[in-house]
């Protein structure tokens, strides 16, 4: 497996692969791998000839008071894990390789969808996400790019960017990988103390209870959202940021749950801010 640090080297290898007729699959990440990342890699590995993973903690998507400096990093471990998954190439650039002229002047505007929920709590976040994803997609030139449902709003925005701006890539949605007790895997879980780790279950438990309620026939968003909010409020170590029930296509808040919708939740538990979501399927 190759570890590449320079943008021109990455471009050259990907171009060579495409010229040989290989399909290129791409998994963009911020590293500190867990089973969620590995599930994306396995999918890319099984569907593409040349499987490329990037490890880049993108400064552009962190706000001034956020955890850019303390975001967990361990490139040696990540490289070993990617290699064990049969990945062909890890791209691990410095910021200067991704943004050779410094902070980019021209960025991708995520539109109104990028202003809501995560975008409202983290102003500028999705500008940073879409700008780096566009940049990396242009460097790698994959035919398939793999994203986790765990970051549902990000997935919807990346898909929309690819459609609206005609990126020649298929955005592949991969299911959220969870711990056996339901906690969604996240690199930030490493910051949870054992008490906070238990407290953090209120997110997935609330979501599961909400999905059950909808399955059993409740189509009013108010009580379904309250199911989630109440669980989080009941947990002294958790501080709720938002709960939202949105249409999966339009991302608008739903008035009745009459077709599949998405419940999303964000809360701070101790130091880390955690997000999770679940599909709501009316019976």
147 contributes a contact to ligand AMP by CB under 6 A: yes
Question: Is 233 among the residues known to form the active site?
Answer: no
| Those residues with Cβ within 8 angstroms of residue 138's Cβ, 6 or more apart along the chain or in another chain | none
Ordered DSSP codes for 66-82: SSTTTS---HHHHHHHH
Helices 221-233 and 201-215 cross at an angle (nearest 10°) of 160
The pattern of x and - marking residues 186 through 205 that bind ligand AMP according to CB under 6 A reads: xx------------------
Query: In angstroms, rounded to a whole number, what is the distance separating the alpha carbons of residues 141 and 13?
Result: 11
Residue of 39, 54, 189, 204 interacting with ligand AMP (CB under 6 A): 39
Can you say whether residue 55 is alpha, beta or left, with left for phi > 0 and alpha for psi between -120 and 50 degrees?
beta
Query: In angstroms, rounded to a whole number, what is the distance separating the alpha carbons of residues 181 and 179?
Result: 5
25 contributes a contact to ligand AMP by CB under 6 A: no
Residue of 176, 189, 204, 277 interacting with ligand AMP (CB under 6 A): 176
Residue of 118, 151, 218, 235 interacting with ligand AMP (CB under 6 A): 151
- By beta-carbon proximity to ligand AMP, the closer residue of 167 and 221 is 167
- By beta-carbon proximity to ligand AMP, the closer residue of 185 and 202 is 185
Query: In angstroms, rounded to a whole number, what is the distance separating the alpha carbons of residues 61 and 124?
Result: 7
Residue of 7, 150, 159, 213 interacting with ligand AMP (CB under 6 A): 150
Structure tokens at 183: 């906690």
Number of residues that bind ligand AMP (CB under 6 A): 17
Question: Least distance in Å: CB of 177 to ligand AMP?
Answer: 4
61 contributes a contact to ligand AMP by CB under 6 A: no
- By beta-carbon proximity to ligand AMP, the closer residue of 40 and 169 is 40
CA-nearest of 55, 46, 47 to 82 is: 55
Residue of 10, 14, 24, 30 interacting with ligand AMP (CB under 6 A): 30
Catalytic residue among 34, 37, 125, 127: 37
Structure tokens at 119: 């975008």
Please choose, out of 31-39, 64-72, 192-200, 237-245, the segment that lies near ligand AMP by the rule CB under 6 A: 31-39
Query: In angstroms, rounded to a whole number, what is the distance separating the alpha carbons of residues 272 and 196?
Result: 10
* Cβ(280)–Cβ(262) below 8 Å: yes
Site for ligand AMP in 156-175 (CB under 6 A): 174
Residue of 36, 128, 221, 272 interacting with ligand AMP (CB under 6 A): 36
Q: Where are the beta strands (DSSP E) in the chain?
A: 2-4, 24-29, 50-55, 89-91, 144-148, 170-174, 238-247, 261-269, 273-280
Q: Which residues bind ligand AMP (CB under 6 A)?
A: 29-30, 36-37, 39-40, 147-148, 150-151, 174, 176-177, 184-187
Residues identified as active-site? 37
């Amino acid at each position: 497996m190759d570890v590449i640090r320079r943008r021109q080297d990455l471009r050259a290898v990907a171009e060579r692969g495409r010229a040989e007729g290989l399909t290129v699959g791409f998994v963009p990440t911020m590293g500190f791998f867990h089973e969620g990342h590995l599930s994306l890699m396995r999918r890319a590995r099984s569907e593409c000839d040349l499987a490329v993973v990037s490890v880049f903690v993108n400064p552009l998507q962190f706000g001034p008071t956020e955890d850019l400096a303390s975001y967990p990093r361990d490139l040696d471990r990540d490289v070993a894990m990617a290699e064990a998954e049969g990945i062909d190439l890890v791209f691990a650039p410095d910021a200067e390789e991704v943004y050779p002229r410094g902070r980019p002047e021209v960025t991708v505007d995520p539109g109104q969808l990028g202003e809501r929920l995560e975008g409202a709590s983290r102003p500028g976040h999705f500008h940073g996400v879409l700008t780096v994803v566009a940049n990396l997609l242009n460097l790698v030139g994959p035919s398939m790019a793999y994203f986790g449902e765990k970051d549902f709003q990000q997935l919807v925005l990346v898909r929309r960017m690819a459609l609206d701006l005609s990126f020649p890539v298929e955005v592949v949605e991969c299911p959220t990988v969870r711990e056996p007790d339901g906690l969604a895997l996240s690199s930030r879980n490493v910051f949870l103390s054992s008490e906070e780790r238990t407290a953090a279950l209120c997110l997935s438990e609330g979501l599961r209870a909400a999905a059950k309620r909808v399955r059993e026939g409740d189509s009013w968003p108010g009580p379904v959202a309250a199911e989630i909010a109440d669980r989080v409020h009941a947990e002294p170590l958790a501080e709720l940021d938002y709960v939202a029930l949105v249409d999966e296509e339009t991302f608008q808040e739903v008035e009745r749950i009459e077709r599949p919708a998405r419940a999303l939740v964000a809360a701070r538990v101790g130091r880390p801010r955690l997000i999770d979501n679940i599909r709501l399927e009316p019976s």
